[in-house]
């Protein structure tokens, strides 16, 4: 294990931001974690798809390259896999689909690694990863031992978990155990999936078909980080009280909302941002994606500071027009 100094992270984050990591190490085996436990401050990067870096990194930056997918159990209805945290999420989705297993097909093509998936409970098209996670195993820096948390102890919420809150900065996720289904219980209720399956002329979809529909939709809306720097949704969809929604509806008749519970609804941040006129905005090399206003983009040489400033301007204008405070979904360093 080699520590390198003053390494550019441009190739290590999908926003393509060019900042320096003062100390940098690539982790390939879990037995290397003990030695890194002595270091005062660490940051971890998987595939760097949910990070906006606005300054040079003085902490030791650890690039996670732990690999391996192992089937650990099987019964009549399910198969369990222990997956190393450095595996790319979509590679695991493809692996599962090739085996005819169901449960994560709606999450096809989400950027990022398996280890990052539980941290923000990745979700798309009506499915969240928490539905298939059995447990999460991590190295605890302070006590220098591996620990395993069962699903119910991970406190999963919308783009949220214990790893973003109580346990923040105390762990390195090494593997995640998934429980996948042999019999497909598909979730195609999310409008765009039904339409896409019809377009593809598929009446009785398999998990593979659903994944294909999801991939088509994502490719049509979301920019490919290999072409335009971005980190997917930059903001979370805000939850507001029903009364606030009804008041807004008097002024903005077409405001969309999805019910959460009796008291609250979720409003698509992309809609709010578009209404404020930001969709397709571009200045120099930074801007707002033209097909999905929730995605901020780097066309080449934007700095993290510029994207941060743009996000602050968007937060201010959504606050001014709708009285709603947007929360960032990406991790800002």
Residues serving a catalytic function are: 159, 233, 329
Q: Which of 138, 271, 281, 333 binds ligand EPU (CB under 6 A)?
A: 271
Sign of the C-alpha dihedral computed for residues 151, 154, 157 and 163 taken in this order:
negative
Binding region for ligand EPU (CB under 6 A) out of 20-28, 85-93, 193-201, 270-278: 270-278
Written as six digits, the tokens of 246 are: 């009804």
Q: Which is nearer to ligand EPU, 111 or 304 (CB)?
A: 111
- Residues 6+ positions from 298 with CB-CB distance below 8 Å: 15, 16, 17, 228, 229, 230, 285, 286, 307
Q: Which is nearer to ligand EPU, 139 or 333 (CB)?
A: 333
Length of the chain: 333
Burial letters 122-159, b for 16+ CB under 10 A, else e: bbbbebbbbbbbbbbbbbebeeeeeeebebeebbbeeb
Q: Which of 12, 279, 287, 307 binds ligand EPU (CB under 6 A)?
A: 279
Q: Which of 68, 100, 241, 256 binds ligand EPU (CB under 6 A)?
A: 256
| Residue 64 near ligand EPU by CB under 6 A | no
Which residues face 23 on adjacent strands?
5, 60
| Residue 13 near ligand EPU by CB under 6 A | no
Which residues face 123 on adjacent strands?
128
Written as six digits, the tokens of 92 are: 């695991």
Q: Going residue by residue from 103 to 122, which x/- string records binding to ligand EPU, judged by CB under 6 A?
A: --------------------
Q: Which of 232, 238, 287, 304 binds ligand EPU (CB under 6 A)?
A: 232
| Contact in structure between 15 and 49 (CB atoms under 8 Å) | no
Site size toward ligand EPU (CB under 6 A) is 17
| Residue 160 near ligand EPU by CB under 6 A | no
User: Binding to ligand EPU (CB under 6 A): which residues in 294-323?
Assistant: 294
Q: What residues line the site for ligand EPU (CB under 6 A)?
A: 124-125, 221, 232-233, 236-237, 256, 268, 270-271, 274, 279, 292-294, 329
């Amino acid at each position: 294990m080699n520590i390198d100094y003053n390494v550019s992270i441009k190739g290590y984050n999908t926003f393509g931001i060019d900042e320096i990591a003062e100390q940098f190490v690539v982790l390939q085996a879990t037995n290397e974690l003990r030695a890194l436990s002595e270091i005062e401050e660490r940051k971890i990067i998987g595939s760097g798809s949910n990070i906006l870096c606005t300054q040079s990194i003085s902490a030791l930056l650890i690039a996670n390259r732990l690999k391996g997918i192992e089937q650990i159990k099987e019964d009549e209805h399910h198969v369990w896999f222990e997956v190393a945290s450095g595996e790319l999420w979509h590679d695991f989705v493809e692996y599962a689909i090739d085996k005819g297993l169901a449960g994560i097909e709606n999450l096809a093509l989400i950027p990022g690694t398996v280890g990052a998936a539980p941290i923000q409970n990745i979700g798309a098209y009506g499915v969240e990863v928490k539905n298939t996670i059995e447990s999460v195993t991590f190295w605890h820096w302070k006590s220098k031992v591996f620990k395993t948390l069962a699903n119910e102890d991970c406190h999963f919420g919308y783009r949220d978990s214990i790893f973003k809150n109580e346990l923040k900065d105390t762990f390195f996720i090494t593997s995640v155990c998934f429980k996948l289904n042999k019999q497909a219980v598909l979730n195609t209720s999310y409008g765009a999936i039904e339409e896409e399956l019809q377009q593809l002329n598929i009446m009785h979809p398999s998990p593979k078909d659903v994944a294909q529909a999801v991939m088509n939709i994502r490719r049509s809306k979301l920019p490919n980080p290999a072409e335009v720097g971005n980190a997917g949704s930059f903001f979370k969809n805000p939850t507001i009280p029903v009364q606030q929604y009804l008041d807004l509806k008097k002024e903005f008749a077409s405001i969309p909302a999805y019910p959460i519970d009796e008291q609250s609804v979720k409003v698509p941040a992309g809609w709010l941002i578009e209404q404020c006129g930001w969709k397709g905005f571009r200045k120099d090399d930074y801007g707002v994606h033209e097909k999905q206003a929730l995605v901020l983009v780097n066309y080449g040489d934007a700095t993290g500071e510029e994207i941060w400033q743009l996000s602050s301007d968007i937060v201010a204008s959504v606050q001014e027009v709708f009285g709603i405070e947007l929360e960032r979904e990406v991790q800002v360093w």
